[in-house]
Amino acid sequence: MRRTGRSAPSWPFWEWYFYYIPAMLLLGMLVVVRAVLATRIAAVARRPWPAVAAGLGACTLTVGVSWGPPPANFWDGGVPAAAAWIEENTAPTDVVAVGDRAGYLSWLTGRPTVQLEGLVEDPAYLDVVADQRIGEYLRVRSVRWYVQGDDLPGAPTVALPDRAGCEGHLEPAQGGGPKSAVVVCDSDLAYSVTENGYRWRVWRYGD
C-alpha cells in the first residue's frame, strides 16, 4: 500500500467489489426511480413499465441469490470460533489488532480494535507502514492481542534469525505497496483454528 495522495492508497480494485449486495440493490432501485420520474416528467414516456419491471426483477434476483449463509468454503468459516475464544479469554477493554478481514471478527467480539488494513484509523498509519514502524504503532495503542486470518498455506513471513521461534507477519497483507512486520513468537500463540482452507490465529502481544 503506497499513498497516491494524502490518504489515498494504491489499492487493487478487484472485480468482486462490484457484487456488493447494497450496491446492486441501489442500482436496481435507480432504474425504478428513473422510470417513475419519466412517467411524471415526460408525457411521451408512455411505456415505463418494462424499465420498472427490469429494476424490480434485478432487486428480486439479487435478494434471492444472496439469501442464506455464505458458501461452505467462504473465508469467514472460522471467525465465530475465533471470536468466541476472544470473548471468553480476553478482557472487554483489551485492544485487539487485526489485519485483513477484520470487520466480521471485531463486530462479533466488540473489543477495541486497531485495524491494520482497509479502513484504518487515520492517514498517519500509511506513514507508519512506509517507515516500518508498526510495532511502535501497536505499543502506543496498548495492543494486547494480534489476530490474523489467512488462507492456507499462509502468506510468507519475515525470518528473524536472531530471535528463535519468532517471525514477522507483514501488514497489510493485500496490496502492492510498503509493508511492515508484526513480530510474534510461537510461545505467544494462544489460539488457532483451521476451517475450509482458512486459518485464524491469536497471539498475545505487548506486556
pLDDT tens across 117-139, in order?
Answer: 877 777 888 899 999 999 999 99
What are 14-24's pLDDT values in tens digits?
A: 555 555 666 67
If one compares 50 and 43, the residue with the highest pLDDT of the two is 50
The stretch 3-16 carries a mean pLDDT of 49
At residue 10, does pLDDT exceed 70? no
pLDDT of residue 44: 43
Q: What is the CA radius of gyration of the chain?
A: 22
What are 48-103's pLDDT values in tens digits?
A: 666 667 667 766 766 665 555 555 555 566 888 899 999 999 999 999 999 888 88
Sole residue written with cell 502468506: 155
At residue 4, does pLDDT exceed 80? no
Please say whether the beta carbons of 96 and 113 come within 8 A. yes
Predicted model pTM: 0.69
Q: In angstroms, what CA-CA distances link 95 with 92, 104, 110, 117, 188? A: 8, 16, 10, 16, 16
Cα torsion through 109, 186, 115, 155, rounded to 10: -120
The stretch 192-204 carries a mean pLDDT of 88
pLDDT of residue 84: 93
Helical residues (DSSP H) of 111-194, grouped into ranges: 124-130, 134-140
Residue 153 CA, distance from chain mean position: 19
Domain ranges within the chain, ordered by starting residue? 15-66, 75-204
What are 146-180's pLDDT values in tens digits?
A: 999 887 777 888 888 888 999 999 999 887 788 99
pLDDT of residue 2: 42
At residue 5, does pLDDT exceed 50? no
